[in-house]
Amino acid sequence: MPELPEVQTVASELNRKLKNQTILSVKILAGKMVSIGPKTLPPKRGEDAALVRKFIQIALGQKILSVKRRAKLLIFDLSGPWSMLVHLKMTGQFIFEDPKLRIKTGGSYRLLNKKNAPLVKLPGKHTRAVFELSGGTLYFNDVRQFGYLKLVHDDEISQVRELQRFGPEPLAKSFSREVFLAAIKKYPKRKIKDTLLDAEVVAGIGNIYSDEILFHAQIQPARLVGSLKLSELDAVYAQIGPVLRQGIRAKGSSVGDFVRTDGSWGSMGKHHFVYGRKGQACKKCGTIIQSMKTGGRTSSFCPSCQK
């Protein structure tokens, strides 16, 4: 489940690998996942052949100047006056295949079978778009097809709805204790877990990292914001940066389908204390990790370490 650290991993890797490459051809295998313009979210249902043609026409011949991240959104800055915004949602993947690292396997290709990587067949059953670049091939895979690729003219970037709504970037210097406290105290009756998941309060935190942050802050997910002492809110704030940075250092958490751009897994999963560990012993105290539903999401926590 790509969250801030996973999307940051993809953005950094793509920025390094794709910078200054030219888009030589574009294949769209799931037309409903692409759209054009700032207000087109979520993309309309069904295929629109004319729109797909236009999407390809715009992208063709463009050079990729940079790949950045805002919240969980990837932003490809193209040489023309266009940007491509990509959301991976639950199961999106970008895999870049360097022709030098290809192994031919019965008509299709797969990545070098590194130890820390699933066997990826490219293109695969869930490949939704293929970008032939000047230095290799970029595959966009998405099992669920909840993600999207959206082209926006640079003049209209400021009108993109999701960009307008995102709250502060938790790793930015400007994300001070005061900014966090002001944002979170607006919602005294919400559960702390739900508030951390709210992209307008803090951008980019999803289920994995909110659970981990609350574990390290020793706060139960269902606690109401208004019931937390200032010292407890401080503890939550203090854990946001370190936990997210650890995720980035580990190149993300390969829970579900997440892979890096070379097809390998991130290693953050090994460092989880609670997420995905329901029924297992707490790494700190041995108590069995429990789970509960808040805001329609599953939260895992240690009933002994977290109060």
Partner DNA sequence: TATATTGTTACACC
Partner DNA sequence: TGGTGTAACAATAT
Catalytic residue list contains 3: yes
Q: Which amino acid belongs to residue 124?
A: G
Query: Strand pairing of 34-36 and 148-153?
Result: parallel
The active-site residue, picked from 17, 69, 72, 277, is 72
CB 24, min distance to DNA, A: 27
Q: Which of 8, 74, 75, 87 binds DNA (CB under 7 A)?
A: 87
Contact status: 109 vs DNA (CB under 7 A): no
Under rule CB under 7 A, which residues in 6-45 are in contact with DNA?
A: 32, 41-42, 45
Catalytic residue list contains 242: no
Closest to DNA by CB, 22 or 291: 291
Q: Which of 12, 66, 145, 246 binds DNA (CB under 7 A)?
A: 145
Binding pattern for the stretch 66-85 against DNA, x by CB under 7 A and - elsewhere: -----xxx------------
Sheet with strand 102-105: strands edge to edge? 102-105, 108-111, 121-122
Closest to DNA by CB, 135 or 295: 295
- Whose CA is closest to 48, among 29, 32, 60? 32
The active-site residue, picked from 2, 5, 123, 168, is 2
Closest to DNA by CB, 60 or 143: 143
Q: Which of 89, 223, 249, 283 binds DNA (CB under 7 A)?
A: 89
CB 58, min distance to DNA, A: 23
Under rule CB under 7 A, which residues in 232-291 are in contact with DNA?
A: none
Binding pattern for the stretch 179-218 against DNA, x by CB under 7 A and - elsewhere: -------xxxxxx--x--x-x------xx-----------
How far is it, in rounded angstroms, from Cα 34 to Cα 44?
9
Catalytic residue list contains 270: no
Burial of 230 (0-12, 13-18, 19+ CB in 10 A): exposed
Q: Which residues contribute to the site for DNA (CB under 7 A)?
A: 1, 3, 32, 41-42, 45, 71-73, 87, 89-90, 125-126, 143-146, 161-162, 165, 186-191, 194, 197, 199, 206-207, 295-298
Active site members = 2-3, 72, 297
